[in-house]
Chains A and B, each alone.
Chain A
Amino acid sequence: EDQVTQSPEALRLQEGESSSLNCSYTVSGLRGLFWYRQDPGKGPEFLFTLYSAGEEKEKERLKATLTKKESFLHITAPKPEDSATYLCAVLPSGGSYIPTFGRGTSLIVHP
Chain B
Amino acid sequence: GAVVSQHPSWVICKSGTSVKIECRSLDFQATTMFWYRQFPKQSLMLMATSNEGSKATYEQGVEKDKFLINHASLTLSTLTVTSAHPEDSSFYICSAYPGGLPAFFGQGTRLTVV
Contact = CB atoms under 8 A, between A and B. Distances in A.
Interface of A: 31-32, 34, 36, 41-46, 49, 87, 91, 97-99, 101-104, 106
B77 interface: no
Contacts of B1: 46
A43 B43 contact: no
Given A43-B6, A43-B93, A103-B43, A98 B34 contact: yes
Given A98-B46, A101-B43, A32 B105 contact: no
Interface of B: 1, 4, 6, 32, 34, 41-44, 46, 49, 91, 93, 95, 97, 101-108, 110
Q: Which of A41, A43, A99 has the most chain B CB atoms closer than 10 A to its own CB?
A: A43
A43 B105 contact: yes
Nearest to B91: A41
Given A103-B42, A103-B43, A46 B108 contact: no
Q: Which of B32, B44, B110 has the most chain A CB atoms closer than 10 A to its own CB?
A: B44
Contact of A104 (B6, B43, B101, B105): B43
Contacts of A44: 44, 93, 95, 105
A41 B110 contact: yes
A46 to B, nearest CB: 5
Given A46-B1, A102-B43, A103-B43, A97 B97 contact: yes
Contacts of A104: 43
Contact of B106 (A32, A41, A43, A98): A43
